[in-house]
Chains A and B, each alone.
Chain A
Amino acid sequence: MDDSKPIFVQIAERIENDIISGALTEETQVPSTNEFAAFYRINPATAGKGVNLLVDEGILYKKRGIGMFVAAGAQSRLKTDRREQFQHEFVRPLVEEASKLGITAAQLSEMIDKEGSK
C-alpha cells in the first residue's frame, strides 16, 4: 500500500492485476472482503469499497450467499481499458523524462526496440 492513491482503489487495481495475469480466472470465486482485509491489513470497510468498485464496473459479480466471482470477459475488458491508459500513464512520462535528458525521439525508439528484442 502506498499513499499516492486511495487504498480502496489500490485494492481494486490489485484484483484487476490478478485477473489480467490470470491468477484469478473468469467464473472463479475471489477471496471475501474479510480475507482481503486480513491479507492486506486494512479495514474491512475499505476492502469492501474496493471490491464494490469492481462490482459496479461489472468485473466481479455477486452470487447471493456464496460470494464474489470474476465475470466472464473480465480479462479482455480490463486489458482494453489498460491499453487506453497506457499512453497517458506510461508513454507520456517516458517521453517527458526523455526530453528532459535530451534523448531524441529516434534514440528513444532505438532504446525501445532494444528492450523489445531481449
Chain B
Amino acid sequence: MTTVIEASGLTKRFGSMTAVDSATFSIEKNTITGLLGRNGAGKTTLMQLLTAQLFASSGSVEVLGASPVENARVLQQVCFIKESQKYPDDYHPRHVFESAPWFFPNWDADFAERLIADFRVPLRRRIKKLSRGQVSAVGVIVGLASRAPITFFDEPYLGLDAVARQVFYDRLLEDYAEHPRTVVLSTHLIDEVSNLLERVLVIDDGRIIVDEDAETLRGRATTVAGAAAAVERFTAGRDVLHTERLGGLATATVSALSVSDRELANEYGLELAPVSLQQLIVRLTTTEPAPSLVEAVPAGSEKRA
C-alpha cells in the first residue's frame, strides 16, 4: 500500500487555543477514511492543514510525497468540499459546474449531469436563493464528479435530506469502485457511513485518539448486561469503558471478548450485545480526559451510582 497523506506532529495553535495537537497519522492510497469527532474537536482545522488552507504551527504534512503548501502539482490532485462553501453572489449552480473542469483535470461532465438529476439541483437559479440542502448538493456533486485522486468531504451534507444522503453514499461507493481514489470524509452521522469506511480516525480535543481499521474498531467493544453483582464479577480486572446501573441491574461496555470470555459471560447469566461504531465513539469521546481502550481504565473507576 502506498501512503498518500502523512502527518507528523502536526499542530495548529490559534493564540492559546490548540486546535490540532501533534497529530501523527498516515492515510493509504485508494481508501475511504472517516474523520470522526465532536463539534470543535479539530476535524475542519485538520482538513484545512492537509489541503494547505492553513499553515501548521509546528510539525509537518506531506500529501502525495510533498508539502501541499503552495504546491500546484499536489493541490491540482486534491478536492476539498467544505461544510459551508461560499460562492460568488451572482453564481448559479451551472456556473459552478462549468468552471469546475478548470480546476479538476479528471472532471466527468456526464457524471456531473447524472448527479444533478439525482439531487434535483436547479441549474439556473442564484445559489443564494437555494435551500441549504441544495447548496450542499452542489458541493457534493463537485466532490464526486471531480474524481480528484484525493477528495476531502467536510460534513458535506448539511441540510441534505435522508434520500439525498443515501444518493450520496450510493454514488460515492459506485464511483469509488469504478474509479478508486482516496476519500477522507468527516461526519457526525457515524451510523450512516460506518459501513462505507475502511479506516477510521477519531479526533478529540485536537488529538488523534483512534487510528484504526474500521473492521477492527467495530469488534473492539461489547456490552454486557445483567444482575449488577454478576456484571461486577465479570468486569473485575477488565477494561471498562462505561457502566450504568438501574436498581439491581447493570450494563458495562468492555473491550473485545474472546470465545472463552463469552462462555463465561453466559455462565454468569449475562446478555452480550454488540457496540456500534457510533456508540463506541460516543463512549470514547464523552468523558474527560478521553479514555482509551489501549490505556487500561481501572475497572469500575467510572461507575455511576
Q: Report the separation of the CA atoms of residues A4 and B276 in the bound assembly, to the nearest whole angstrom.
A: 9
Number of interface residues of A (CB under 8 A): 20
CB-based contact A6/B218 at 8 Å: yes
A29 located at the interface, meaning its Cβ lies under 8 Å from any Cβ of chain B in the complex: no
Distance A110 CA – B215 CA, assembled complex (angstroms): 43
B266 to chain A: which residues have CB within 8 Å?
A: 96
Known: A3-B275, A49-B215. 12 other contacts (CB 8 A): A2-B274, A3-B276, A8-B215, A34-B174, A37-B173, A41-B195, A42-B195, A42-B196, A43-B173, A45-B31, A45-B198, A46-B195
- Contact residue among B32, B196, B198, B215 (Cβ-Cβ distance under 8 Å from A41): B196
The verdict on B110 contacting chain A, using a C-beta distance below 8 Å, is no
Q: Is residue A105 contacting chain B, with contact meaning CB distance below 8 A?
A: no
Which partner residue on chain B sits nearest A92 by CB separation? B266
Residue B169 is within 8 A (CB to CB) of chain A in the complex: yes
Q: List 28 A-B contacts (CB under 8 A).
A: A2-B274, A3-B218, A3-B274, A3-B275, A3-B277, A4-B273, A4-B274, A6-B215, A7-B215, A7-B218, A33-B177, A34-B178, A37-B177, A38-B174, A41-B170, A41-B173, A42-B173, A42-B196, A43-B195, A43-B196, A43-B198, A43-B214, A44-B176, A44-B177, A45-B198, A46-B198, A46-B214, A46-B215
Q: Which residues of B contact A43 (CB under 8 A)?
A: 32, 173, 195-198, 214
Separation in Å of the B246 CB from the closest CB of chain A?
A: 21
Chain B residues in contact with chain A, CB under 8 A? 31-32, 169-170, 173-174, 176-178, 195-198, 214-215, 218-219, 266, 273-277
Q: Chain A interface secondary structure, helix, strand, loop or mixed?
A: helix
Q: Please report A residues at the B interface, Cβ cutoff 8 Å.
A: 1-4, 6-8, 33-34, 37-38, 40-46, 49, 96
| Least CB distance, A83 to chain B, in whole angstroms | 20
CB neighbours (8 Å) of A38 from chain B are 170, 173-174, 177
CA distance A44 to B214 in the complex (A): 13
Residue among B214, B266, B276 having the largest count of chain A Cβ atoms under 10 Å = B214
